[in-house]
Amino acid sequence: MARGMDHFLYRDGVLHAEDVPLPEIAAAVGTPFYVYSTATLLRHFTLFDEALSGTEHLVCYAMKAASNQAILKTLAAAGAGMDVVSGGEYMRAKAAGVPGDKIVFSGVGKTADEIRLALSGGIRQFNVESEPEMEVLNRVAGEVGVRAPITIRVNPDVDAKTHAKIATGKSENKFGIPIARAREVYALAASLPNLDVIGIDVHIGSQLTDLAPFELAYQKVAELTETLRGDGHTIKRLDLGGGLGIPYARNNEAPPLPSDYGALIKRTVGHLGCEIEIEPGRLIAGNAGCMITQVIYVKSGEGRDFLILDGAMNDLIRPAMYEAYHDIVPVLEADAGVEQTPYDIVGPVCESGDTFAKQRMMAPLNAGDLVAFRSAGAYGAVMSSEYNTRPLIPEVLVHGDQYAVIRARPTFDEMINRDTIPEWL
């Protein structure tokens, strides 16, 4: 499989999403907006699915990355399961037609109400993260009158070597139970009448660009599988989490491919005869989406030029929150040989943190020009807010030469009318 098959390409100097020129969408829906490629979503899902071929498996898309109904339906139609982390995500998955037996429920703080919702609507398994959660799950399952299938998320104390805010597999993180306590916690689970222990879960972090931490974690899971089986537990399913990273700056980062990752899984846990689940989010959606914004002003500052865009930190928070790098490219391709110039690229929000990039080299741009933020499909729209009373920006899905608005921009009235006035005012 060749790296870099890309459905956002210039044709005759105009950036397209699949067969649709982006200026056409901009003219129809206004800027800023998110645009996704169906072909990229499906291709990335299929890469994972094929990487695990020959092994019983389910790829459960971590829908926190991008959870629009149209995206979920696209992936579900290809056979994807879903990894959900809230009652809302569970309802979204169900609304998109995903059957309960393809939905796994992760997260450290599932409430009794969320647990009840999933038990009543059908669930593949809960990935349990603590003993108190286990007790609540056991109680609610009893009330609903079902047995809850569970794995227990173990924390393997592995350094994922990623950004501190998205590393989850070290013992200092809030996630999972320490692997050293696993036998004790599995024994407790086995003693609870309404729980059905079926496997082990692990997730060590996000945007991992090296396979070594996965290898360490999965080896520990393999050893634990043998130990727990020795203790008499049924371990028939391994949920190996998500986290495989993507290239954000094209040409100078080459994270491992899903096929390498699949081979690693087979090498480390393949001999155990377990059904394998994985929970990729970013790799499926990240490079399937761009945020398209327009230059409002080019402002000359003291020794630097600012590109002021109509997109801001509330629309794409990753640079402000994680110092994340996103490629930013002009929608109309610059002429070959044009000299690049450094810009500080910022949004209109009243915070210095509303800075997407500093001293980024770009071909000269003017007010009215469109630029595309690449790799914005994952953790873009889902993390956006209406800070500064800026409307949530629309989402658009492209499929070949067709496109559709899959979430419309709210009007100012719609935004304002979500507030209600108490009777004393």
Smallest distance, ligand LLP to C-beta of residue 379, A: 3
Amino acid at 363: A
Q: Which of 15, 59, 62, 228 binds ligand LLP (CB under 6 A)?
A: 62
Torsion of CA 149, 170, 217, 281, to 10 degrees: 60
Q: At what angle do helices 182-191 and 212-230 cross, to 10 degrees?
A: 50
Radius of gyration of the chain (CA): 23
Query: Applying CB under 6 A, does 318 fall inside the site for ligand LLP?
Result: yes
Which 329-368 positions form the footprint of ligand LLP (CB under 6 A)? none
**What is the C-alpha separation between 124 and 90, in angstroms, rounded?**
12
Smallest distance, ligand LLP to C-beta of residue 345, A: 18
Query: Applying CB under 6 A, does 262 fall inside the site for ligand LLP?
Result: no
Binding mask 153-172 toward ligand LLP (x if CB under 6 A, else -) reads: -------------x------
Query: Applying CB under 6 A, does 239 fall inside the site for ligand LLP?
Result: no
Smallest distance, ligand LLP to C-beta of residue 100, A: 18
Residue 344, exposed/middle/buried by CB under 10 A (0-12, 13-18, 19+)? middle
Query: Applying CB under 6 A, does 374 fall inside the site for ligand LLP?
Result: no
For the four alpha carbons of 405, 392, 332 and 323, in that order, the dihedral sign comes to negative
Kindly tell me which of 207 and 308 has the beta carbon lying closer to ligand LLP.
Answer: 207
129: nearest Cα among 150, 104, 107? 107
**What is the C-alpha separation between 258 and 172, in angstroms, rounded?**
28
What is the chain's percent helix, strand, coil content, to nearest 5?
35, 25, 40
Smallest distance, ligand LLP to C-beta of residue 123, A: 15
Kindly tell me which of 20 and 206 has the beta carbon lying closer to ligand LLP.
Answer: 206
Q: How many residues bind ligand LLP (CB under 6 A)?
A: 19
Query: Applying CB under 6 A, does 384 fall inside the site for ligand LLP?
Result: no
Query: Applying CB under 6 A, does 242 fall inside the site for ligand LLP?
Result: yes
Q: Strands 305-309, 341-346: parallel, antiparallel or unpaired by DSSP?
A: parallel
Smallest distance, ligand LLP to C-beta of residue 83, A: 5
Which residue in the block uniquely carries the two structure tokens 């982390």? Answer: 85
Query: Applying CB under 6 A, does 65 fall inside the site for ligand LLP?
Result: yes
Note if 290 is an active site residue: no
- Is 25 in contact with 401 (CB distance < 8 Å)? no
Among the residue ranges 89-97, 199-207, 291-299, 352-360, the one whose residues contact ligand LLP (CB under 6 A): 199-207
Contact set with ligand LLP (CB under 6 A): 62, 65, 83, 106, 166, 203, 206-207, 241-243, 279-283, 318, 322, 379
Active-site annotation, residues: 350
